[in-house]
Amino acid sequence: MKRRTVLLGGGALTLGALASSLPAIAQDAKPEKTDVTLGVGGKPLLYYLPLTIAEKKGFFEEQGLNVTINDFAGGSKSLQALIGGSVDMVTGAYEHTIRMQHKGQDIVGVCNMGRFPGIVIGVRKDIAGEVKSVADLKGRTMGVTAPGSSTSLMLQYALLKNGLEATDVSLVGVGGGAGAVAAIKQKQVEGLSHLDPVIAQLQYDGDIEVLLDTRTEAGTRELFGGPNPAATLYTTAAFTNDNPVTTQRLVNGMLAALKWLQTASADEVADAVPEEYLLGNRDLYKQAFENSKEMYSPDGVVSKEGYDSMMAVLKTLDPELANADVPYEKTFDARFVTAA
């Protein structure tokens, strides 16, 4: 990108200086890039509901942006798309920023959407008598959105916390929607580490027994000992440096969606999302939203406590990260949510 300047009160700022002065001018400056591509892995999931609300309620358009959303099979796939340059930003698990920073890839979060994972571990009702806790999952086949995704990570961490090895279960990618429901109903897997509305559908139909639930603060603290940042808008540091105003506008739109969700009724949410997200049962979707509402971030911030919790998980789970030294500030750039 060629050197660009932004006029301000008779002076000029370089793009780098603009990035450091966001609170003062980025809200009024023209976006460097108005056509933006976002990657996501399983958009219908309530884990990513703020993204759909920002899209459907026109919050990105209000910021002068034309946002195209590419939906991948799982969070690890959307991360690959970002690294490969086919998307500008990703809404995905916060832990990816830590992993990539450790590998020397300058990936940084700019807006947190979920302060709790919202992930539920459950098993089929027909084997619930044999599997009464996570500790009983050894040797079982478990569905996740995609291997390497946050649903996979949390399941493996729960196994370790319950005295098992992360490799003691077989992981099967079942996607983020109807395919995950079918995997349980057709007995392709013995259980799931998954999200609403898939979990709500299976609970409603009486197909699963819940073993662990991180849709609430209590359930999250039970497993992690604190908050555990989940869905986060992240990108490369190069993108934020080259496109600080565009980044700010994206964060503004996402925060508008988070604010809307704080007071929205279940009916308003069901009206806002695409019909297919309801899985043919509007009342069920409304209940799923009520189950998950507590997990959405009220302010878009990844707290230091949340970072510490996630680092503890990764150090426990991944030998490559056991002695990792990844500063909090490298994983989350708070300038944009502060400016918004």
Domains along the sequence of the chain with CATH: 5-116+229-339 (3.40.190.10), 120-213 (3.40.190.10)
The DSSP secondary-structure symbol of 321 reads G
Residues with Cβ within 8 Å of 50's Cβ and at least 6 positions away in sequence, in order, are 91, 113, 114, 231, 254, 257, 258, 261, 296
Give the pLDDT score at 317.
83
The span from the CA of 307 to the CA of 327, in Å, is 9
Give the pLDDT score at 283.
94
Q: Supply 297's token pair.
A: 């971030």
Q: Supply 300's token pair.
A: 């878009």
Q: Radius of gyration of the chain from Cα atoms?
A: 20
Distances (CA, A) of 187 to 61, 74, 140, 165: 43, 21, 12, 24
Name the nearest CA neighbour of 115 among 336, 332, 268, 267.
Answer: 332
The span from the CA of 42 to the CA of 192, in Å, is 15
Give the pLDDT score at 279.
79
Q: What is the pLDDT tens value at each position of the chain, 340 positions in all? A: 333 333 333 333 434 444 455 554 456 799 999 999 999 998 998 999 999 999 999 999 999 999 999 999 888 899 999 999 999 999 999 999 999 999 999 999 999 999 999 999 999 999 999 999 999 999 999 999 988 888 998 999 999 999 999 999 999 999 888 899 999 999 999 999 998 889 999 999 999 999 999 998 888 988 998 889 999 999 999 999 999 999 999 999 999 999 999 999 999 999 999 999 987 899 999 999 999 899 999 999 999 999 999 999 899 888 899 999 999 999 999 999 999 9
Give the pLDDT score at 229.
94
Give the pLDDT score at 27.
67
Give the pLDDT score at 293.
92
Exposed, middle or buried: residue 137 (CB in 10 Å: 0-12, 13-18, 19+)? buried
Give the pLDDT score at 321.
93
Nearest 10 degrees: Cα torsion 145, 146, 147, 151: -30
Give the pLDDT score at 318.
85
Give the pLDDT score at 246.
98
